[in-house]
Structure 1
Amino acid sequence: MKNKKIMKTILLLFFICSAVEYIEFLFIRTDMTFIADNIITKIFIVFILFISLKSFQLKFSDIGFKFKGILKGIIYGISLGIITFTISYFIEILILTVNGHSPSIKFFITNFALTGASNSLNASLTAVMICIVVNILNAAAEEGLFRGLFLNLGQKKYSCKTANYIQALLFGIWHFVMVAVSLYDKTMNLQTAVVMGIGYIVLAGILGIEWGLCVSMTGTLWINMSEHFFNNFISNTIHVVSSTGIDELQIIRIVMSNILSLIIVIAVSKIVKK
């Protein structure tokens, strides 16, 4: 592929996947079913990956799905998630306790929404297994597209750092759909949506940068894929319930966890470079 066509190709693939994403999130609403997630988009991304890799004469191993380091990557990714979320949950509970809201940890399955979960399921074995499978698919699809395909293509024209920033920005914009859903459902006004939209793009972008660094250090997607899975699974299942509501400080919890995770990965990357 000629260098001048690389960015156009990345953007074309991004907009195609985004179109499917918005159709599902706004109209099909798979997240309101027993699946509690928008799985059609993820399956479509996997389809796009197969088609794209064949077109670009690439293999899945070329974009980070290598057998090498699977177990180590999973352990590192899950450990990173456990450390950062333990700290952020502790701070969240501390804030609620100080303010007299009597918080407690509860285990049940919900979808994710900026204004609070809108679909709740009992944590039966079947529901938990569906949640695990869906979140594995979600992590594999998004990591394969952004840190796999887009980062790989971007590095053919730009430096590693620039390519990482590009995929991270697209990853941030990808998550704006959460704000669009809240606007569509009229659970958020326009002013709040603007603030939340910018914040959420930055928040997801932080994760995009972090996970791109993980790929640069290891050459695989396993660390970021496992942390991505862990983050989503925890957000779907472990909830802070207080006298005034459920997951009221969820966004703050996620922000703290993401920033801590980025700091840790940057510190490790500097040590590795030395």
Structure 2
Amino acid sequence: MNKPKNPLLSVFTVYAICFFFRFIEYFFIQTDRSFWGEAFIHKLAGIVVLCVTVKVFSLRAQEIGFIKRDIIKRILQGLVFGFAVFTVAYGVEFALVASRGGQPALQLYVSSYDVDGNIGNQTGLLFFAICIFGNIINVVMEEGVFRGLFQKLLEQKYKFITSAIIGSVLFGVWHVIAPIRQFTEGGSLGGMLANIAMLISTSAIVGFQFAIMTKMTGSLYMAMDAHFVNNAIVNMLHMVSDTGVDELMFVRISIAQMFSVVVVLIVYTMKNPTSAHQADNVHFPFSHS
């Protein structure tokens, strides 16, 4: 590896380039408002940036977490863990809607996430395929950049926790683009600030959780698939009642994220791995080993 002279500056430079592509797509191309329903172009650009940066620093894919060993096991761990925490979250939401006199039920269809709630209702197989493929691109780019590349570069100078916090804060800021766009289109300043505060805090916490998952497993794949479930299930599985659709979506997401963060932190605190070898020996809940 060609160690960067200033790891933080290198991270900020890559981040600025990726954010520039994100800005262009959200404000000008607006793929998420098109037939595709997904803002995926800047994610593809981010994957290209990731590959170029890896080459510049003479890194290998394995060095930033794309490890082939135990890949199926890690993928299954991420999927099972993600579905488990959302099972709890949907159960709580179901009970809350029922307690308010609603008639809750689950429906499967594809929608696009918006800061004010999901929009659209598509049931064709093509839209499910687009949603799944778009979310795969999303997690490969975001986990590869934030938990893979950034963590590797920052740990050349900082300890794991410090590096994870820096990457997680950047991941939180990464999500401010949607409420900013909404404000420029006539939204309220208060609404924008509230959404920005909520998105930065929740995304940073979840990003920190994914960093710990990556540390404990020694690869990106468990975090990648937990991240995939976190995003895809919001787009495809909806709580409907006689009073509306996904009215308590934010509550559901918050419960799932906080529950998963608590579980991950408890396991990490108990095991506290200090090397990739030790991390690989940590048996995470829902492990098949």
TM-score (norm 2): 0.90
String of CA shifts for 1:23-82, please: whole Å, max 9, x gaps: 111221101222211010110011001110110000111100010121111111111111
1:93 is aligned to 94
Matched, 1:17 2:30: no
| Aligned mates of 2:184, 2:224 — CA distance in 1 | 30
| Aligned mates of 1:4, 1:55 — CA distance in 2 | 13
Contact 1:164 1:212 in 2 (8 A): yes
2:176 is aligned to 176
For residue 127 of structure 1, what is the amino acid of its counterpart?
F
1:159 is aligned to 159
| Aligned mates of 1:97, 1:57 — CA distance in 2 | 56
| Aligned mates of 2:142, 2:34 — CA distance in 1 | 21
Structure 2 unaligned blocks of 5 or more = 274-289
2:128 is aligned to 128
How far the C-alpha of 1:117 sits from its partner, in A, is: 2.1
1:272 is aligned to 271
| Aligned mates of 1:27, 1:250 — CA distance in 2 | 28
1:49 is aligned to 50
The worse-fitting range, judged by mean Cα deviation, of 65-74 and 161-170 is 65-74
1:195 is aligned to 194
1:102 is aligned to 103
Structure 1 unaligned blocks of 5 or more = none
- The 5 A counterparts of 1:120-269 are 120-186=120-186, 188-269=187-268
| Aligned mates of 2:171, 2:5 — CA distance in 1 | 22
2:287 is aligned to none
For residue 215 of structure 1, what is the amino acid of its counterpart?
T
Instruction: Name segments (4+ residues, structure 1) moved above 3 Å.
Output: 1-4
String of CA shifts for 1:133-181, please: whole Å, max 9, x gaps: 1111111110000001001101001000000000000000001112223
SS of 1:239's equivalent in the other structure is strand
Q: How many residues are matched?
A: 272
How far the C-alpha of 1:270 sits from its partner, in A, is: 2.3
RMSD: 1.5
| Aligned mates of 1:84, 1:16 — CA distance in 2 | 34
Matched, 1:32 2:64: no
The worse-fitting range, judged by mean Cα deviation, of 188-197 and 38-47 is 188-197
Q: 1:3 to 1:136 in 2, by over 3 A?
A: closer
String of CA shifts for 1:62-105, please: whole Å, max 9, x gaps: 10001012111111111111111111111112111111232221
| Aligned mates of 1:101, 1:28 — CA distance in 2 | 39
How far the C-alpha of 1:244 sits from its partner, in A, is: 2.6
How far the C-alpha of 1:254 sits from its partner, in A, is: 0.9
Q: 1:103 to 1:182 in 2, by over 3 A?
A: farther
The worse-fitting range, judged by mean Cα deviation, of 192-201 and 137-146 is 192-201
SS of 2:260's equivalent in the other structure is helix
String of CA shifts for 1:114-136, please: whole Å, max 9, x gaps: 10223x24222221112111111
How far the C-alpha of 1:271 sits from its partner, in A, is: 2.7
For residue 216 of structure 1, what is the amino acid of its counterpart?
K
| Aligned mates of 1:92, 1:26 — CA distance in 2 | 33
| Aligned mates of 1:89, 1:244 — CA distance in 2 | 17
SS of 1:175's equivalent in the other structure is helix
Identity of aligned residues (%): 31
Contact 2:4 2:57 in 1 (8 A): no
SS of 1:176's equivalent in the other structure is helix
| Aligned mates of 1:30, 1:235 — CA distance in 2 | 18
